[in-house]
Amino acid sequence: MSAPNNSYDPVEVTPLHPDEVARMREEALSAIEAAGDLDELKEVRLAHASDRSPLALANREIGALPPTAKADAGKRVGGARRDVGQALKARQAVLEAERDERVLVEERVDVTLPWDRELRGARHPLTTVAERMTDVFVGMGFEVAEGPEVEAEWFNFDALNFEPDHPARTMQDTFFVESEDSGDSGMVLRTHTSPVQVRALLGRELPVYVVAPGKTFRTDELDATHTPVFHQLEGLVVDRGITLAHLRGAIDSFVGAVFGEGLRTRFRASYFPFTEPSAEVDMECFVCRGDSVGDPDASCRTCSSEGWIEIGGCGVVNPRVLTAAGVDPEVYSGWAFGLGIERTLMFAHGVRDMRDMVEGDIRFSSAFGSEI
Ligand code: FA5
């Protein structure tokens, strides 16, 4: 085994010569200083601080040196590499700060400038709620039926068992379009969607399972809970062997689908000339579930602490209506309901004032996130 080459002087190895190391260091430092942006600095880092940089290659030469020479050469090259590393770090910080400042200026948005974006519009939440309500019944197998908004008095009242002088006619304050004197039947803006019941029975094969969403009109004042133009969803089933129990099931499925599973419903006896028996449909308040009743510390704005919310009217179709529509009440029976769509929107989405729905402010529709 040969003796160690103690006479091997690092100064004789060109890359390790102090002048050469100093030159490589200076070259790297001036390249770093000259880098104008982060991309250029990346190039400089590759050229002067990567594994293939002159200083890294010089560092590799140290391994071949005799132990006595290693420390001196290592100190020289290591010091130069450390200076380059620190210079790179410092320049990186300066260039990043410059970039951040430039981005802030270049990408500044002047929020006070006039807005030229054209809104694409939004579907009115009443439309989306009406579709959702309709879809629940379509999912149960119902078809969608329609009727005119300007309706014959016969369909709106007579066929639905409102006698000409029946006080029930005044129950719904009517917009009259044409009086009876001018023809066979007067014309009205329909006061409810129930005339579609008769149209569906006259125009379709039995059995009939239909829902009819639509606009209705009454001479009501516009206030927080009423509007003269509002919407209802009518439902009608006429088939053999139909009972009130089917109606309870359909209403429960509707409430579960729109307001949440597990909410109770109840029928309160009421009166409509076209159904017998008749009922108002209430559902359990989906916010307090009745907990606010009688508790002054837990007042519920949704149900006014009553625990129940009225959503519409319903009942077993009066045999007189079936007869008026040419259906044999001895063979067929059925039920019907009419739900208020505005009221459903109010309850389902916490709308406090019905006037917000009709004033046409696009912010109301946009708040529901229903941009087309
Ligand atoms: C009727 O209109 C019946 N045709 C419902 C019906 C159909 C009963 C089938 C039986 C069988 P009522 O007048 O209660 O019923 O109105 C039904 C719903 O319409 C009310 O519960 C309410 O939600 C809504 N409604 C009534 N008037 C207004 C109004 N001015 N503004 C907003 N919603 C209203």
For 21, the domain range is: 10-106
Whether 118 is in a domain gets the answer no
Nearest CA to ligand 1 atom 15: 313
User: Quick check: is 96 in a domain?
Assistant: yes
Q: Which ligand 1 atom sits nearest the alpha carbon of residue 192?
A: 2
Instruction: Flag whether pLDDT at 163 surpasses 90.
Output: no
pLDDT (tens digit per residue) in 344-372: 998 888 888 899 888 888 778 877 766 55
In a domain, 116, yes or no: no
Query: Are 94 and 206 members of one domain?
Result: no
Q: Does a structural domain hold residue 117?
A: no
Ligand 1 mean position, distance from CA 216 (Å):
9
Total number of domains in the chain = 2
Nearest CA to ligand 1 atom 29: 226
Residues 210 and 333 placed together within one structural domain of the fold: yes
> Looking at ligand 1, which residue's alpha carbon is closest to its atom 24?
340
Check if the beta carbon of residue 217 is closer than 8 Å to that of residue 172.
no
What residues contact 267, with CB distance under 8 A and at least 6 apart? 248, 279, 280, 281, 282, 314
157 in contact with ligand 1, CB cutoff 6 A: no
Per residue in 57-89, pLDDT (tens digit) is 989 888 888 887 888 888 999 999 999 999 999
d(CA 146, CA 237): 15
Instruction: Please check whether residues 93 and 150 belong to one and the same domain.
Output: no
Residue 163 lies in a domain: yes
Of 169-183, 240-254, 333-347, which range is least confident?
Answer: 169-183
Ligand 1 centroid to residue 195 C-alpha, Å: 13
Distance in angstroms (rounded) separating the CA atoms of residues 183 and 99: 82
Question: Does residue 115 fall inside a structural domain?
Answer: no
pTM of structure: 0.70
Q: Are residues 99 and 184 in the same domain?
A: no
CATH number at residue 169: 3.30.930.10
Mutate to test the pocket of ligand 1, among 126, 162, 232, 267 (most ligand atoms within 8 A of CB): 232
Write down the mean pLDDT value for the chain.
89
Question: 212, 146 in Cβ contact below 8 A?
Answer: yes
In a domain, 113, yes or no: no
